[in-house]
Structure formats: structure tokens, C-alpha cells
């Protein structure tokens, strides 16, 4: 085997399994802490309050105002709540928005973090924080950002609405697909990527008709852990860049945008590195990874066009401009007209070959 790579693992303690939420108190103590500030969005406030009640004295308070894109003004309020409560660690209960808030606190005061992940976005296993100030989203990396402990309890994902389960699962698959052709790819990340896609491919079609399918929920969460780990381990390329731009500039929803764009960005890159995406085509049983991903999304009822997400046809020129202004690495070089064509196909929702 003629390989050359650098592998750096992200140290995190992972507890996986139905009922594992019961370990939260022991995990807080294991970190040497005794006063946790619990975080959630307003939507999951009652759930996180119930968890806090179960923790007794280990819960110092609840801050249930996490918001999309981690606005700095929300983080500042959470920092004040952390200080007022005399907290010594944070527990983020939820998806990428809540986890982002926990990371933003830890980035500022190095608080130990425990995450109870309830979507498939994967942020809980990355040392990456995206935060927004005055409408501008910036990304930072650092060891204090990576949560120390992650609890994956599939029981807590049964209530994730079907549409969100699907798009969040496709968001996870996007991390893995880009990981396979990452410039700094390595064999461990690639194994995790393939296994993660395989698990989500098996699970999502069973979740759509039966969101309470315990086996499928467990498989999907397992897949999301693997895909998120890939995101944390290797660099992303065209797909994540385009989604970041569409989300940031045109305010398109995060997971849905990933779902729509993935077959098209993969089609763009697949022509340059078909051998690296062969495992994905194999998982879907199609001649190309791109067509397999498109058919899979469509069969799950995911949105398949940018038009359906509310992007105007007259925004496409600007989107192409913005995604090609700063150069960045992709296995197939970024060419403005080809990206404009890609966006047109994604806008109308045409199936890649």
C-alpha cells in the first residue's frame, strides 16, 4: 500500500446507547465539576429543565436561549448567566445551535463541556466554532472548543421531526462525502466516512415511516457520530463552502441547503476523483455517487431544489460570484462558469448523471 498521510485524532469521551442520558451526573463529576449550566434552544427548554431537575445540586441553572449561527450577543448573555450561577461546566442539550453556544462559552472561559446531541449535524465532535457578529459569520478552531464528553442517547432523537431527521442526516452524509476527497484525508477518517454513510443510508428510510424505530434511530445517531468525526478531522471543500455562502448571504436553512446541494457538488468533484467516491456509489448501488445521493434524497422526501428553499433565480449570479471570489482547494479546481452552471442545476433540482 503506497500511502502518505498525517492522522490527528480529536480526544473526546463518547457514551453511546439508549438510556445513556442517565450517566450525565456521573460524567459531570468525572470532569471534576459540580455546578453545570445547562443550555438549549427555547424549543427544547422544557426537556432541558427536566434534565436539570433530575441532576439536583449538580445543576447550577438553565440558559434556554441558544439561537442559530451562535450570535455573539446571545453568548454574552450566556456568559453572564454562567457567572451568576457560579457554574463550573456547561451541558449543551440539542443540535448544532445549542452546541455552538456551549463551544462559544468554552472558547472564552475554557469551561469543560458535555454535549447531549439530539440531531445529526455532528458539531459535538469538532473543534470548530462558527459565530456571528453584526451579521458576519466567522469560524475559529481550537482545543478548548472541542467538547470533552458526548452522550449519544438515541431515545432522545425519536422526537426529531421526520423532515429534520432526513435533512440533518443528509447534512451528516455531506461531511463524510467531502471527507473522502479531502486534501488531508487519511485512512481512519475515510473508514469512518464510509461506515457513517452506510449507517445513515440504512437508517433514514426506516425513520421516515416510523420515527420511533429504535434500531433505525440508533443507527442514524451512530452514523452521525462517525460523519461528524470526519468533519472534525479533515478539511472540507466546495460543498461546505457553497453551503456556508448560501446560508450566510441568502439566509437559507442549514440542513436543507446541505441536502439540496450535496448531489450537485459531488457531481462537480466526482469527474476529477471518481475513484475516491466509488465507495459512495457502491453504498447506493448506482453508477455515480452523485446520482445515488440525489435518488436517495428524493426518495426520502427531502427538498431537491434551491428554488424550493426560496432562493430567487436572480440570486444565482451573485451566489456564483461569492463562492468563487476567494480561491480554496477542491479536487476539481473552482471555475466560475462551471459553478454558475452547478448552481443553476441545483436551483432547478435536475438529477445529476
Contact assessment for residue 311 and residue 175, using Cβ atoms and an 8 Å cutoff? no
Piece of the chain touching ligand NAD by CB under 6 A; list 31-39, 92-100, 280-288, 304-312 = 92-100
Interacting residue with ligand NAD among 97, 229, 245, 291 (CB under 6 A): 97
# residues near ligand NAD by CB under 6 A: 28
In the bound state with ligand NAD, the residue whose beta carbon lies nearer, of 94 and 112, is 94
In the bound state with ligand NAD, the residue whose beta carbon lies nearer, of 98 and 245, is 98
Question: Which residue lies nearest ligand NAD, judged by its C-beta?
Answer: 96
Interacting residue with ligand NAD among 71, 102, 112, 130 (CB under 6 A): 130
* Shortest Cβ 227–ligand NAD spacing (Å): 10
* Shortest Cβ 93–ligand NAD spacing (Å): 9
Instruction: Catalogue the E-assigned strands of the chain.
Output: 13-16, 36-39, 59-63, 89-94, 113-117, 128-133, 136-141, 149-152
Residue whose cell numbers read 461506515: 195
As to burial, measured by CB atoms within 10 angstroms (0-12 exposed, 13-18 middle, 19+ buried), residue 260 is: buried
**Helices 274-284 and 254-270, packing angle to 10 deg:** 120
Contact assessment for residue 54 and residue 116, using Cβ atoms and an 8 Å cutoff? no
Piece of the chain touching ligand NAD by CB under 6 A; list 38-46, 56-64, 268-276, 279-287 = 38-46
Interacting residue with ligand NAD among 36, 115, 150, 160 (CB under 6 A): 160
Interacting residue with ligand NAD among 55, 79, 85, 128 (CB under 6 A): 128
* Shortest Cβ 110–ligand NAD spacing (Å): 18
* Shortest Cβ 132–ligand NAD spacing (Å): 9
Interacting residue with ligand NAD among 78, 90, 94, 277 (CB under 6 A): 94
Residue 101, all three cell numbers: 453556544
- Taking phi over 0 as left and psi of -120 to 50 as alpha, with beta for the rest, 210 belongs to beta
Q: Segment 68-87, which members bind ligand NAD (CB under 6 A)?
A: 68-69
What gap in Å lies between CA 347 and CA 131, rounded to an integer?
A: 27
122 lines the binding site for ligand NAD (CB under 6 A): yes
Edge to edge, the sheet with strand 113-117 lists 13-16, 149-152, 113-117, 89-94, 36-39, 59-63
Residue 52, all three cell numbers: 436539570
In the bound state with ligand NAD, the residue whose beta carbon lies nearer, of 126 and 291, is 126
* Shortest Cβ 286–ligand NAD spacing (Å): 26
| Cα distances (angstroms) measured from residue 237 to each of 133, 188, 241, 293, 335 | 24, 19, 6, 18, 14
Interacting residue with ligand NAD among 198, 201, 254, 264 (CB under 6 A): 254
Beta bridge partners of 131: 138
How far apart are the two ends of the chain, measured CA to CA in Å?
32
* Shortest Cβ 136–ligand NAD spacing (Å): 14
Q: Segment 168-207, which members bind ligand NAD (CB under 6 A)?
A: 168
Binding site for ligand NAD (CB under 6 A): 41, 43-44, 68-69, 94-98, 100, 118-119, 121-123, 126, 128-130, 156-157, 159-160, 168, 231, 254-255
Amino acid at each position: 500500500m503506497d500511502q502518505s498521510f498525517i492522522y490527528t485524532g480529536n480526544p473526546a469521551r463518547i457514551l453511546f446507547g439508549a438510556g445513556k442520558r442517565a450517566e450525565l451526573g456521573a460524567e459531570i463529576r468525572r470532569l471534576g465539576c459540580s455546578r453545570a449550566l445547562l443550555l438549549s434552544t427555547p424549543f427544547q427548554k422544557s426537556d432541558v429543565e427536566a434534565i436539570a431537575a433530575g441532576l439536583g445540586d449538580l445543576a447550577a441553572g438553565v440558559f434556554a436561549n441558544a439561537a442559530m449561527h451562535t450570535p455573539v450577543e446571545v453568548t454574552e448573555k450566556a456568559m453572564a448567566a454562567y457567572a451568576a450561577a457560579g457554574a463550573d461546566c456547561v451541558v449543551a442539550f440539542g443540535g448544532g445551535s445549542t452546541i455552538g453556544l456551549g463551544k462559544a462559552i468554552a472558547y472564552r472561559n475554557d469551561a469543560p463541556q458535555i454535549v447531549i446531541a439530539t440531531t445529526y449535524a455532528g458539531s459535538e465532535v469538532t473543534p470548530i466554532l462558527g459565530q456571528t457578529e453584526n451579521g458576519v459569520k466567522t469560524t475559529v478552531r481550537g482545543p478548548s472548543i472541542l467538547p470533552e464528553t458526548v452522550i449519544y442517547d438515541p431515545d432522545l432523537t425519536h422526537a426529531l421531526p421526520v423532515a429534520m431527521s432526513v435533512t440533518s442526516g443528509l447534512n451528516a452524509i455531506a461531511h463524510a462525502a467531502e471527507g473522502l476527497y479531502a486534501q488531508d484525508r487519511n485512512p481512519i477518517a475515510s473508514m469512518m466516512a464510509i461506515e457513517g454513510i452506510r449507517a445513515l443510508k440504512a437508517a433514514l428510510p426506516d425513520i421516515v415511516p416510523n420515527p420511533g424505530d429504535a434500531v433505525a434511530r440508533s443507527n442514524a445517531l451512530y452514523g452521525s457520530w462517525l460523519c461528524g468525526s470526519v468533519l472534525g478531522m479533515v478539511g472540507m471543500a466546495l460543498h461546505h463552502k457553497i453551503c456556508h455562502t448560501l446560508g450566510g448571504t441568502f439566509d437559507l436553512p442549514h440542513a436543507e441547503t446541505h441536502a439540496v446541494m450535496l448531489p450537485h457538488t459531488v457531481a462537480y468533484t466526482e469527474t476529477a476523483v471518481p475513484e475516491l467516491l466509488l465507495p459512495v456509489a457502491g453504498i447506493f448501488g448506482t453508477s455515480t455517487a452523485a446520482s445515488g445521493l440525489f435518488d436517495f434524497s428524493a426518495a426520502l422526501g427531502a427538498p431537491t431544489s434551491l428554488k424550493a428553499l426560496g432562493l430567487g433565480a436572480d440570486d444565482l449570479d451573485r451566489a456564483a460570484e461569492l463562492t468563487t471570489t476567494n480561491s480554496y482547494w477542491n479536487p476539481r479546481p473552482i471555475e466560475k462558469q462551471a459553478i454558475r452552471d452547478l448552481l443553476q442545476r441545483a436551483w432547478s433540482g435536475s438529477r445529476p448523471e
